[in-house]
Chains A and B, each alone.
Chain A
Amino acid sequence: MNLYEIVFYFFAIVTVGSAAVVVFSRNIIYSAFSLLFTFFGVAGLYVLLNADFLAVTQLLIYVGGILVLLLFGVMLTSNTISVELKTGTLHILPATILVALLVGLLTATFWTADWFMSKRASDIAAQTTSKEIGDALVTTHLLPFEIASIILLVAIVGAAMMARRENPKSQIPI
């Protein structure tokens, strides 16, 4: 086992183990905090894959943003701390069959498929991706990039609209 594999298995165990805690924990706060390690482990895996931009994104958006939002979401709702979550399985037999089928199919897919390997020398030698992504954003992927800004605008307006106050009297007229 070389260093690369040790690091890989470390992050893989962190990711899968903490994801299991997220799913099986009966305390929603534990679940939320465990998700931190899942996100972190995934970021580590991205680093191993030389996807440095994705790793930064993962840390900034998921660990720094989504998780905080999730914790806020837990704190905003009343009675979540005292209430036990029902994480028991409901329809055991159909669920088992479905999951087994899906796992089997996906595993078979990953073993048998000939995955595409880039033959471009620049791709193989690449150590960082940020520059190339920056280049793609303003040339070949310009349209998706600018559409993303409109989507974000819609999200901003939508968020402000959804979280507006219930009481019409305290509402500030624009």
Chain B
Amino acid sequence: MPEIILNNLNFILPELVLTATVLVIIVAYLTNRKDETIVYYLSLVGLVITLYALTGKVGENLSAFDGMLSIDPFSLFFKIVIVFSTIVVVIMSQHSDEVKSEKNLQGEYYFLVLSMAIGMMFMVGASNLLMMYLALEFSSLTSYVASGFTRKAKDSSEASLKYLLYGAFSSGVMLYGISILYGLTGTLSIAGINQVLMQGSVNSLALLISSLFILVGFAYKISAVPFHYWTPDVYEGAPITITAFLSVASKAAGFAMMMRAFKVMFVDSSLVTLPVGAWGFVNGIHLQQVLIVLSVLTMTLGNLVALWQDNLKRMLAYSSIAQAGYMLLGVLVLGNDGTAAVMIYFVVYLFMNLGAFYVVMLFANKIGSEHIDSYKGLGRKSPLLSVALAVFLISLTGLPPTAGFVGKWMIFLSLINAKMIGVAVIGVINSVISLYYYVRVIRNMFLRDEERMSDETFKFPLAQQILLVSLLIPTLYFGLFFNELVEFAQFSVTMFGVK
């Protein structure tokens, strides 16, 4: 037994490195009272080593810890996305006045961000319902605390409480669904559940109820309508770095866990009439229709409400709800090309969304406001910042030649391949709607002048410019040269235990 466990430890080496980093951070923070930046450098070093450890896992496809975790290309892809966005968020935090203003809490801050990343890394690999629930609660619990980080802002505590209440409710419903599924099948392993379901002896009403209840937990994590109520308030109230992190990494982990759960647990492997790469749900699971409804609601509501937002943080919150709707499109086609499209979208989304939040943060550092009117005349004051924001917003809309176009293109392509033209048309119409509110910001920056003209220009330190440019370049690069990204995503759709 010990040998097997020690062997298994090797499979989760990246997670172990990150866990060790978290523990070291706390100890270093407690022993070194004077220098608060030491936790920042420790986090960065730990994250880079984690990323390096992840590269050693390429091509591994196995199951660890008695089927608790799957170490496969699919989880590796999302782990890279998560760790990479954590690195960006950690550097962002070092540039954020909001985070730095909380003296005496720097250690806790980086501890929480890295803990959240650990929870998410376990989420994407979990292949047992118990492990899934535990990982989900892990990342949620840290998110609740992190979104209430800034004590001065009243919104922050409110955000934290709202997040907690919605989270407790949805994870409770999810747990109920899991318990029904366990009662039906007698196992918590998602592959084991699939085996029982394939025998066809499970009551379909009970199966429907439990699958819907489990979906509630996922839908809350990815903030799909109608489980999105927490999103605008939390995104607005939380520190902007945490908002950026939640909108990218947390969403990626939620999507990964959902896709794995549905594909491994509910796939009907006896269907042979389907084209290559496509798959179907077992009898009694009607999740595809539910997902279509969720996705259409999510993008439409997200985009329509975003039209009325004047606070940029809040606008980006609704925009990220809408983006989750587009990504759901890739899930509901039930095929490998759809899964790959979602994965490509997440890489693209990582750069453009973190970039957009970073610009808003840098600007808030100078002005102290996130209101859309304060962006008037920014194009003259800081050309780099405003051009970057314009590119990120165009990319979020999905216009060429940016990476956002590639992401959306792949998703719509997979929909057309699956002959779901109607849904694809709704997606395109939604992209057009979203153009309006993104362009509003760009118009304010370049075409509108502020009431009191001033010749003031904003200067940003070199480190901040470097981070901005390094988010900007991939947003443009992947819009033109996307072959390698697409190939890597198509290679990474392999999940353990599924053909």
Decide whether A and B are members of one complex: yes
Where the two chains meet, the residues of A that have a C-beta atom closer than 8 Å to any C-beta of B are 105-106, 108-109, 112-116, 118, 139-144, 147-148, 150-151, 153-155, 157-158, 161-162, 164, 166, 171, 173-174
Residue of A nearest to B68 (CB): A143
Interface of B is mostly: helix
For B104, the chain A residues whose CB sits under 8 A away are 171, 173-174
| Given A139-B1, A148-B134, A174-B33, A114 and B145 contact (CB-CB distance below 8 Å) | no
For A118, the chain B residues whose CB sits under 8 A away are 186
B185 CB to nearest chain A CB (Å): 6
Partner of A161, one of B105, B130, B131, B138: B105
- The answer for the CA separation of A173 and B36 in the assembled complex, in Å, is 12
Contact B33 A157 (CB under 8 A): no
B391 CB to nearest chain A CB (Å): 36
Contact A112 B203 (CB under 8 A): yes
Partner of B111, one of A113, A143, A157: A157
| Given A109-B205, A112-B203, A114-B201, A143 and B145 contact (CB-CB distance below 8 Å) | no
Instruction: Show 7 residue pairs from A and B whose CB-CB distance is below 8 angstroms, ordered by the A residue.
Output: A115-B183, A116-B184, A118-B186, A157-B26, A157-B108, A174-B30, A174-B104
Residue of B nearest to A140 (CB): B66
Residue of A nearest to B131 (CB): A144
For B33, the chain A residues whose CB sits under 8 A away are 173-174
B143 CB to nearest chain A CB (Å): 10
A100 CB to nearest chain B CB (Å): 15
- The answer for the CA separation of A154 and B111 in the assembled complex, in Å, is 8
Partner of B183, one of A108, A113, A143: A113
Contact with A along B164-199 (1 / 0, CB 8 A): 000000000000000010111110000000001000
Residue of B nearest to A172 (CB): B104
Contact B134 A147 (CB under 8 A): yes
Contact A106 B209 (CB under 8 A): yes
Contact A144 B111 (CB under 8 A): no
B8 CB to nearest chain A CB (Å): 8
Contact B65 A142 (CB under 8 A): yes
Contact A109 B180 (CB under 8 A): yes
Residue of A nearest to B145 (CB): A158
For the complex, is B287 an interface residue (Cβ under 8 Å from A)? no
Contact B118 A150 (CB under 8 A): yes
Contact with A along B106-118 (1 / 0, CB 8 A): 0010011001001
Q: 6 closest A-B pairs (Cβ-Cβ)?
A: A116-B186, A158-B145, A113-B206, A113-B203, A143-B65, A140-B66
| Given A151-B134, A174-B30, A162 and B65 contact (CB-CB distance below 8 Å) | no
Contact B69 A143 (CB under 8 A): yes
A33 CB to nearest chain B CB (Å): 22
| Given A139-B1, A147-B135, A164 and B151 contact (CB-CB distance below 8 Å) | yes
Contact A154 B66 (CB under 8 A): no
Contact A154 B142 (CB under 8 A): yes
Contact B185 A161 (CB under 8 A): no
Contact A158 B141 (CB under 8 A): yes
A107 CB to nearest chain B CB (Å): 11
For A115, A147, A171, which residue has the most chain B Cβ atoms within 10 angstroms? Answer: A147
Contact B131 A113 (CB under 8 A): no
For B148, the chain A residues whose CB sits under 8 A away are 162
- The answer for the CA separation of A144 and B12 in the assembled complex, in Å, is 13
Residue of B nearest to A102 (CB): B209
Contact B205 A158 (CB under 8 A): no
- The answer for the CA separation of A8 and B212 in the assembled complex, in Å, is 31
Residue of B nearest to A115 (CB): B183
Contact A151 B137 (CB under 8 A): yes
Contact A151 B138 (CB under 8 A): yes
For the complex, is B122 an interface residue (Cβ under 8 Å from A)? yes
Contact with A along B87-120 (1 / 0, CB 8 A): 0000000000000000011001001100100100
Residue of B nearest to A158 (CB): B145
- The answer for the CA separation of A166 and B157 in the assembled complex, in Å, is 13
- The answer for the CA separation of A79 and B274 in the assembled complex, in Å, is 64
For the complex, is B447 an interface residue (Cβ under 8 Å from A)? no
- The answer for the CA separation of A123 and B496 in the assembled complex, in Å, is 30
| Given A161-B105, A174-B104, A154 and B145 contact (CB-CB distance below 8 Å) | yes
- The answer for the CA separation of A75 and B131 in the assembled complex, in Å, is 36
A171 CB to nearest chain B CB (Å): 7
Contact B185 A116 (CB under 8 A): yes
Contact A147 B145 (CB under 8 A): no
A105-B209, A157-B145 given. 19 additional CB < 8 A pairs?
A109-B180, A109-B205, A113-B205, A114-B203, A118-B186, A141-B68, A142-B5, A143-B69, A147-B138, A150-B19, A150-B118, A151-B141, A154-B112, A154-B138, A154-B142, A161-B105, A162-B148, A173-B104, A174-B33
